[in-house]
Amino acid sequence: MKRITSLTETGMHVLPSTGSYVPVEDYFLVDESLDLRGRFVLGDGGHADLTVKDMLVDPDSKRVAMIELSDGRRLPIEHVRLQGSYVRIES
């Protein structure tokens, strides 16, 4: 399973971080196949009941730091893995 963190700035000016994250659309993903938005999230039972709503970037590191799920929860990217076309959350 792949880690999802690599991106480059689009040229838009990003203000210094205030501890908050910015939406990924302010950046270009280095590998578009790692765009998680809209993908189903596999739960513990192996079924998908949520989707990835957005990917959030830490402007200081210019890396994807979190994902936002369709239920509004935000999870650190360190716990996110790709499994085929699905997203799996590891604890």
In this prediction, residue 79 carries a pLDDT of 87
Give 63-90 pLDDT, tens digit per residue: 888 899 999 988 888 888 888 899 998 8
**Domain coverage including residue 21:** 7-89
Residue 1 domain flag: no
Residue 11 domain flag: yes
Distance CA 69, CA 76 (A): 11
Q: Exposed (0-12), middle (13-18) or buried (19+): which is 41, by Cβ within 10 Å?
A: buried
Residue 26 domain flag: yes
Residue 2 domain flag: no
Give 38-58 pLDDT, tens digit per residue: 999 987 777 788 999 998 888
Please tell me the total count of domains within the chain: 1
With b for 16 or more beta-carbon neighbours within 10 A and e for fewer, the 62-79 pattern comes to bebbbbbbeeeeebebee
In this prediction, residue 19 carries a pLDDT of 55
Average of pLDDT values for 22-48? 81
